[in-house]
Structure 1
Amino acid sequence: MIIPRFYLFILASVAFIGIWFLSYKPFLYQQLSVSQSTDGGRSLPLNHSLPPLEAAGNETLGFQKILILSTGPSWRTRGLLAAAHLTGLQITIPPQPPIDEAIVDAFGQLGGDDDDEEHPPHGATIAWLAHLDLIKHAIQLDLETVLIIEDDVDWDVSIRHQMVRIASAIRNLTHTEQRDQSSHPTPYGHDWDLLWIGHCGEFWNEDFETVSFEDRSACPKAQYSGWARNYLSHLPDHHRSIYWSFNPVCSFAYALSRKGMRNVLRVAGGGRGEAFDVKVMQACKAKALRCISVVPEVVHQYFPAASYGVNSLVDIGNGEAVGPDETEFESVMGSTDNILESARCNALWGKTCLR
């Protein structure tokens, strides 16, 4: 029997994804012993001694573990560890497995050569695979919940207080108090796949079911930067708003439930899109994932001083200049958009750095 070329391509794509998925596990378990961590590498159990909402203010913000997406020690991780120490967060930086160029090229071209098919550029493909690898790591650790954070980000010095209020709003949005029959309730309930707490913008309109609360640590509208500023202007100032995700972009920080980890692998594990965050956003928008956005965000990217022209690893992977050696700019304070009291800058320079 002659099998059409189209079906051969589909079979080859499925085989590639399966081999890539399975091949990651042995390397990961061999390397776990060298994970950099502020908690000694322990996998923290869910803390059931605290009331559910109060647990959102613990050392892991109410999640079982905080995992950092990182290629290794650099100015990014040193500043992140300083911020974590200042705010009392326990984070773990697992080693990122090497990603062969052949895998990058193959993953980036999944879907074929159809002109209508979007493919991620090289740097975005590497980042996409790294996110998937870290999610698989969380599954292998058998976690109920995990918070994944990119290593060049920043948050407010009051993040542990912020997350308690956010947890309460999420439980209200999902009506968790009325129907949560779990013997081990979590701060955020169970009726979600992904909590998008760190992004570079989100859409909003008055038709969205929204839970808002006053939060003086939220970035004022007049100081908010980014493409979503116009949408934020329709929300009350000095408030935090929680609603079902519609168009969040940038994967600075997101939490996943146990089922959410598997669901993200299902919708994003086959590539075929502009970037990891865009693929996940589209799944949230289509209700293929149950996603909740926090606006304004509580985690945002930190930028080294602009005069040094430092590019992100994704931009470098896409062909941008590598830029100066980190010894030239690491000691000079940069800036963080939309975070009033930067933990990173306060830890390193004793002051905030809102751009």
Structure 2
Amino acid sequence: MISPGSPVRLIPRPRRKSSNVIVSFLVILALLWFWSFQRNIASRPAACEDVPDPLDAIKNGTLGFEKIFVINSPQRLDRRDAIVLGSSATGLHVDFIDQMDLHQDSAKGNEPTNGLEEIAAFRSHLNAVQRIVADRLASALIFEDDVDWDVNLKTQLKGFARGAQKIQKSNASYSPYGDSWDLLWLGHCGVKCNTSSPVQIMPHDITAISARFLPPYSYDAPAGTGNNVRMTCKMEEAACSGAYAISYRASQKILAALTLSTATRAVKFEGLLSQLCHDGSLECYSSYPSLVGRWNWTSRETGPSDSIQESDSHASLSMGAMYSTLQNVGRLLDGESRVQATVDDALVPELNPDLFEVPYAVLQWTDEKGGHERHV
């Protein structure tokens, strides 16, 4: 008992239980906040990755098209070997379309009649076009079987696609090459650009072969081009059909042009394509110099895939490809880091393809105010 006046000692009641509850609550809040913060941080890169870059499609095995077709005669297995070998070394996937047999009777219709060879070539290309329509392919790249291409083709096409998109004024495209194109003439022996349309210029492209090392071209070089300069343009005419891409819509138009035509004059397939580009039936784009070259089989007709691996800078069999796939296939298969240029005046005689990037480019156009230029 506490007597009056005696000191009182107050003993607080224990609060351990309530304090533990508060501490636990604060810890849970902190953990929830930390988990939410970490989740937001982790989700940011994923959100960026969810927005695909259309140009990334060029890195696939069909270069951003639905298919790559190669027209090849079953009698030329050496050329087929070369295409398969080069494709495997550069990450491409191709399908073959048999070239028409020269000894078959020519089909009746609007095909050339001045020689079995031209008939076979014409019908073979037409079969590829027909395949696009029949299979309802969005687009396809068509090669002839004597093509050769640069080891850096995928990077080259990325630069070409940027230019084609800018010329078309196509920003949000489902295709890496734009939304309005019908035909991309990638392998030619001469092109005439539309001078009233904008052009993309790459003034320092080390893969652009100088004019003196190009195969004979049927048209003069476009104004503004020169050594190590590459131009992407909307085109009016071209020669040679070594490599070209066409859309489903363009394939329909080509078949319709033949089906409805009343012309009796013989025409080559490349002439038909050029005519459709010239009259505006097809919207066509190209590069100068050609992005796809040729392999000179006439110099060594006995050379199947084994001889292709022989590299001799003094007697190149490649025409129009600076860092030829077929001439460098031995290096590629051996895992070497560098490839060799095919011409003597190359700015970079040996190149590591992993270090090659899309060159600097500008878009040039002219209007009533004069000439203009801006970085792409």
TM-score by length of 1: 0.69
Higher helix share: 1
- Summarize deviations over 1:14-67 as a string: whole Å, max 9, x none: xxxxxxxxxxxxxxxxxxxxxxxxxxxxxxxxxx98410122232211111111
Answer whether contact 1:69 1:149 (CA < 8 A) is retained. Answer: yes
Does residue 346 of structure 1 match 2:328? Answer: yes
Partner SS, residue 238 of structure 2: coil
Aligned pair count reads 278
1:41-120 aligned at under 5 Å gives the runs: 50-72=52-74, 74-96=77-99, 101-104=104-107, 106-107=108-109, 119-120=113-114
Alignment equivalent of 1:284, drawn from 263, 267, 277: 277
Give the one of 288, 310, 319 matched to 1:337: 319
Structure 1 pair 80/327, CA: closer, same or farther in 2 (3 Å)? closer
Query: Are 1:136 and 2:130 matched, yes or no?
Result: yes
Alpha-carbon distance, 1:296 to partner: 0.9
Whole-angstrom CA distance in 2 between matches of 1:301 and 1:247: 20
Q: Helix, strand or coil: the match of 2:252?
A: helix
Aligned equivalent of 1:275, options 268, 273, 281: 268
Shift of 1:327: 6.6
Aligned residues of 2:100 and 2:121 also touching (Cα < 8 A): no
- Give the Cα–Cα distance (whole angstroms) in 1 for the partners of residues 51 and 83 of structure 2: 28
TM-superposed deviation, 1:167: 0.6
Is the 8 Å Cα contact of residues 194 and 236 (structure 2) preserved in structure 1? no
User: Contact conserved, 2:194 with 2:235, CA < 8 A, in 1?
Assistant: no
1:322-350 Cα shifts (integer Å, max 9, x gaps): xxx55799566651222101001111577
Moved more, 329-338 or 294-303: 329-338
Deviation at 1:284, TM superposition (A): 0.9
Query: What is the SS of the residue equivalent to 2:328?
Result: helix
CA deviation after TM superposition for structure 1 residue 155, in Å: 0.4
Question: Secondary structure in 1 aligned to 2:326?
Answer: helix
Q: Higher strand share goes to which structure?
A: 2
Structure with the greater alpha carbon radius of gyration: 2
Displacement of 1:135 in angstroms is 1.3
Q: Answer whether contact 2:81 2:305 (CA < 8 A) is retained.
A: no
Is there any run of 5+ residues in structure 1 with no aligned partner, and where?
Answer: 1-47, 111-117, 311-324
Can you give the 5+ residue segments of structure 2 that lack an aligned partner in the other structure?
1-49, 333-339, 345-376
Q: Give 1:300 deviation, angstroms.
A: 1.8
How far does residue 239 in structure 1 lie from its aligned partner after superposition?
2.5
For 2:321 and 2:328, locate their aligned partners in 1 and report how far apart those are by CA, in whole Å: 12
- Taking a change above 3 Å as real, the CA distance of residues 250 and 229 of structure 1, as seen in their structure-2 partners, is closer
Letter aligned with residue 223 of structure 1: F
Matched with 2:235 is 245
Counterpart code for 2:124:
A
Q: State the TM-score, normalized to the length of structure 2.
A: 0.66
Over 6 Å off, 4+ runs:
none
